[in-house]
Amino acid sequence: MEIVVDAGDTTRTYEVVASRAGRRVETAVRRGVVEVSEVTRNGAVVRTARFMANRVLALVEQPVPRGEQGEGE
């Protein structure tokens, strides 16, 4: 997941990825804050990136390459 943020005179791009097999990336918007979290299979949050919602320009979800999909998908 790429997050493009307005940084005043420029934009900044941040990336949150599911770094290991079985992990996923979840996105939530709460009280004016965008949270992008990497989560394990059992729901434990590994890391979270938080951004003010009015500064977020784009959330870009990249497709999973076919060779990296898990069994049965």
Dump pLDDT digits (tens) for 2-19: 999 999 899 999 998 888
pTM score, whole prediction: 0.76
Q: What is the pLDDT of residues 50-65, one digit of tens each?
A: 999 999 999 998 777 7
Helix then strand count (H, E) for the chain reads 0, 6
The strand pair at 45-52 and 56-60 is best described as unpaired
Euclidean distance between CA atoms 18 and 66, whole angstroms: 15
pLDDT number for residue 49 = 93
Q: What is the pLDDT of residues 29-45, one digit of tens each?
A: 999 999 999 999 999 99
What distance lies between CA 71 and its chain's CA centroid?
23
